[in-house]
């Protein structure tokens, strides 16, 4: 039997077909984690060689316990363990099974000359505190989303415009009867951020209509130089998320300002987490399904040279592209809509804030709750897909209390890998 997903829109129609195949994994062979999932429903091609895998999650500290009732097992096997037929992963009765993320890497320092710094991987967080630096439309969008979702017990706001900041804090406090108790602090002094677990930096010159994110660089570098030392002075162990545009370049700048004493991965950018959400939301809307039924990534620059990894996109687990197919003009048009969506919103209302606010809250929960959620964020990608420079781009990462824990080496088609390298060259040049 075969099933079909039809995507109808003003751009045209795209279809994805699947044919039932048995799902199994060999103990003796290995393949990239996401490539294994793709092989379930697709005929092997030059893009996806036929391999199977035992998924290994140990590096991400994800351990699951599998157990079987001894009475049931003994009855079924006569007291003997069944032989491995090569198609099933067997585990001993009551024994811990450790799975590890294959094709993953430790966070990469911002320069190849910098030695790795140890990460203080202490226990679970107690009372959670997050600081938002820069309380314009984006900063307040993030604060409002975190407040409504009770992401943290304390939200500290820092901005140089004290009068406006006081007004924002009072406005939030006066709605406290309608949400769980969250302490809101506000000041133009960084001391209010003392002992934060996460600091989200949105401060920077605003992007004007028609202006590319890269044009913001010179104006925002000087602002970042004044922020990072103050953040580290009061919260030396905090994870730091850069939202200020241009996000990837500002993340690289922040890492270099912080210096080698800050472990790689602790400073990261929100990157294409929002771009990926936009793509998944557009697909879900056109298919008439919930957005959580769509998975996939946009990687690379958070901006004009971002790369939609169509080979990773699944709808209900079904690949959106048939094996071996390349994206069509329909896919290209949808990606263009993703890239242009921020410019379109800025043209209409002057800024974006609600979607990036929800993105910040999503990232915040992953860090503060140490969830090990995989999401695309901006980090140093030197050594990935042939990139030799110390460039920061978004790739899927395992996120925890200290920021980026692992980088996922996402399998790419030849076209996607070429586009990813072009995205790196756009930022590096």
The pLDDT tens digits of the residues spanning 330-364 come to: 999 999 999 999 989 999 998 899 999 999 999 99
d(C-alpha 157, C-alpha 347), whole Å: 28
d(C-alpha 252, C-alpha 25), whole Å: 39
Alpha helices, H only, 240-328: 247-258, 273-287
Q: What is the dihedral of CA 155, 393, 271, 242, to 10 degrees?
A: 30
Its pTM stands at 0.75
Q: Which is nearest to 359 in space by CA: 104, 151, 170?
A: 151
d(C-alpha 271, C-alpha 275), whole Å: 8
Q: Which is nearest to 273 in space by CA: 108, 113, 142, 429?
A: 142
pLDDT score, position 94: 45
Largest CA-CA distance found in the chain, in angstroms, rounded? 77
Contact of 4 with 315, CB cutoff 8 Å: no
Q: Which residue has the tokens 């210096």?
A: 259
pLDDT score, position 17: 36
Average the pLDDT over 231-239 and give the result.
Answer: 98
Average the pLDDT over 153-160 and give the result.
Answer: 96
Cα of 9 vs its chain's centroid, Å: 28
Average the pLDDT over 376-390 and give the result.
Answer: 96
- Residue 107 is given by DSSP the state P
pLDDT score, position 229: 97
Structure tokens at 366: 């992953």
Catalytic residues: 302
Alpha helices, H only, 235-272: 247-258
The string of pLDDT tens digits covering residues 413-422 is 999 999 999 9
Burial class (CB in 10 A: 0-12, 13-18, 19+), 347: exposed
* Residue 33 in this model has a pLDDT that exceeds 90: no
* Residue 46 in this model has a pLDDT that exceeds 80: no
Average the pLDDT over 4-33 and give the result.
Answer: 39
Contact of 169 with 202, CB cutoff 8 Å: no
């Amino acid at each position: 039997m075969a099933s079909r997903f039809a995507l109808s829109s003003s751009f045209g129609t795209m279809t994805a077909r699947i044919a039932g195949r048995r799902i199994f994994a060999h103990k003796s062979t290995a393949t990239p984690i996401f490539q294994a999932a793709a092989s379930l429903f697709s005929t092997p091609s030059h893009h996806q060689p036929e391999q199977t895998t035992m998924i290994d999650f140990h590096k991400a500290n994800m351990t699951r316990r599998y157990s079987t009732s001894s009475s049931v097992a003994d009855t079924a096997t006569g007291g003997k363990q069944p032989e491995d037929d090569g198609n099933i992963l067997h585990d001993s009765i009551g024994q811990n099974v450790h799975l590890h993320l294959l094709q993953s890497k430790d966070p990469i320092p911002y320069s190849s000359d910098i030695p790795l710094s140890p990460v203080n991987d202490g226990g679970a967080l107690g009372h959670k505190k997050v600081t938002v630096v820069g309380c314009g439309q984006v900063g307040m969008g993030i604060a409002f989303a975190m407040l409504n979702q009770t992401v943290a017990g304390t939200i500290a706001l820092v901005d140089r415009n004290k009068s406006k900041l006081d007004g924002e804090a009072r406005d939030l406090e006066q709605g406290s009867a309608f949400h769980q108790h969250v302490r809101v602090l506000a000041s133009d002094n960084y001391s209010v951020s003392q002992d934060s677990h996460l600091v989200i930096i949105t401060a920077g010159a605003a992007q004007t209509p028609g202006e590319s994110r890269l044009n913001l660089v010179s104006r925002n570098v000087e602002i970042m130089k004044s922020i990072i030392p103050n953040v580290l002075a009061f919260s030396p162990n905090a994870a730091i998320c850069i939202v200020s545009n241009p996000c990837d370049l500002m993340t690289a700048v922040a890492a270099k300002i912080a210096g080698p004493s800050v472990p790689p991965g602790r400073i990261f950018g929100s990157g294409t987490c929002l771009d990926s959400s936009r793509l998944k939301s557009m697909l879900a809307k056109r298919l008439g399904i919930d957005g959580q039924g769509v998975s996939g990534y946009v990687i690379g620059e958070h901006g004009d040279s971002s790369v939609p990894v169509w080979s990773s996109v699944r709808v209900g687990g079904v690949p959106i592209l048939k094996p071996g197919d390349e994206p069509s003009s329909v896919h290209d048009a949808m990606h263009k809509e993703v890239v242009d969506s921020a410019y379109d919103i800025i043209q209409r209302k002057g800024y974006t804030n609600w979607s990036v606010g929800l993105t910040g809250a999503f990232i915040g929960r992953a860090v503060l709750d140490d969830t090990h959620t995989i999401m695309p964020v901006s980090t140093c990608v030197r050594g990935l897909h042939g990139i030799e420079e110390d460039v920061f781009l978004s790739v899927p990462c395992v996120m925890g209390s200290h920021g980026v824990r692992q980088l996922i080496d996402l399998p790419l088609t030849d076209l996607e890998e070429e586009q990813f390298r072009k995205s790196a060259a756009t930022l590096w040049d």
